């Protein structure tokens, strides 16, 4: 049946993919991949031979229309990112919106995404939380940090290794040295690590040993009076 399938892929451990995801990838007419070179390794591991096409943040505005036409003409298209669930800090939203507007069925499979295990194993309240993704690098960063300093729900951020110390220093400055923080890195991989403490303690720990790999920061909300 022609539709757009959103297919999560492993964030590290290749065992973290569902049987359903493998079936969809094999049966699809086309796979849209963020980086075809990265995805080729996974698809070869899974025994998937479906044709691939590049679909990433630099070309998605140009490719969306053509993909929608192919699905409307009867093809089944599977969208994957380099790791995790597409559209969560990765390409996918524009195509999903275009398909919805065109009346094309969209089916998102459940599967890996980095912020969920990081949130759950943080030990911080997760009955209410906000996902912030990446903080602004320059413009609007200070304003956003000041706004989030008043947030009472647990907050989840993505961050890169070369920017994490700056972000931790910002947390100490804007949120306070005692704000609880949990930093998870390399989730599902061999060197997976979660370090918990106050913002000041987590900063001190990683100033001595800067972290490597993909990072998820979970930050406690402002205590209610």
Averaged pLDDT for residues 210-220: 95
- 162 CB burial (10 A radius; 0-12, 13-18, 19+): exposed
Residue 1 has pLDDT above 80, yes or no: no
Residue 4 has pLDDT above 80, yes or no: yes
Place of tokens 């320059």: 138
Rg (CA), the chain: 19
- H or E stretch at 147: helix 141-148
Averaged pLDDT for residues 198-213: 96
- For 72-123, the pLDDT digits (tens) are 999 999 999 999 999 998 889 999 999 999 999 999 999 999 999 999 999 9
Q: How far apart are CA 160 and CA 214, in angstroms?
A: 6
- H or E stretch at 169: helix 164-175
- For 118-176, the pLDDT digits (tens) are 999 999 999 999 999 999 998 899 999 999 999 999 999 999 999 999 999 999 999 99
Residue 184 has pLDDT above 90, yes or no: yes
The per-residue pLDDT for 60 is 84
- For 38-81, the pLDDT digits (tens) are 999 999 999 999 999 999 888 888 899 999 999 999 999 999 99
Residue 199 has pLDDT above 80, yes or no: yes
* DSSP per position, 38-53: HHHHHHHHHT----EE
The per-residue pLDDT for 58 is 85
Identify the structural domains of the chain with CATH numbers, from first to last: 4-108 (3.40.1010.10), 115-219 (3.30.950.10)
The per-residue pLDDT for 56 is 86
The per-residue pLDDT for 223 is 93
Residue 15 has pLDDT above 80, yes or no: yes
The per-residue pLDDT for 61 is 86
């Amino acid at each position: 049946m022609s539709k757009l399938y959103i297919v999560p892929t492993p964030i590290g451990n290749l065992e973290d993919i569902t049987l359903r995801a493998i079936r969809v990838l094999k049966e699809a007419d086309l796979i849209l991949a963020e980086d075809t070179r990265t995805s080729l390794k996974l698809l070869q591991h899974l025994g998937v031979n479906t044709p691939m096409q590049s679909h990433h943040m630099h070309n998605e505005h140009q490719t969306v229309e053509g993909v929608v036409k192919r699905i409307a003409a009867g093809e089944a298209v599977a969208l994957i990112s380099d790791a995790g669930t597409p559209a969560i800090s990765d390409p996918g939203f524009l195509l999903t919106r275009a398909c919805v507007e065109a009346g094309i069925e969209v089916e998102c499979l459940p599967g890996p995404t980095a912020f969920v295990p990081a949130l759950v194993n943080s030990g911080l309240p997760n009955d209410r939380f906000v996902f912030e993704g990446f903080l602004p690098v320059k413009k609007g960063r200070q304003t956003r940090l000041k706004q989030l300093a008043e947030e009472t729900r647990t907050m989840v951020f993505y961050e890169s290794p070369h920017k994490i110390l700056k972000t931790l220093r910002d947390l100490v400055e804007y949120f306070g040295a005692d704000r609880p923080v949990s930093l998870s890195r390399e989730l599902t991989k061999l060197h997976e690590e979660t370090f918990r403490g106050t913002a000041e303690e987590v900063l001190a720990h990683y100033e001595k040993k800067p972290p490597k790999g993909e990072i998820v920061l979970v930050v406690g909300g402002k205590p209610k009076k």
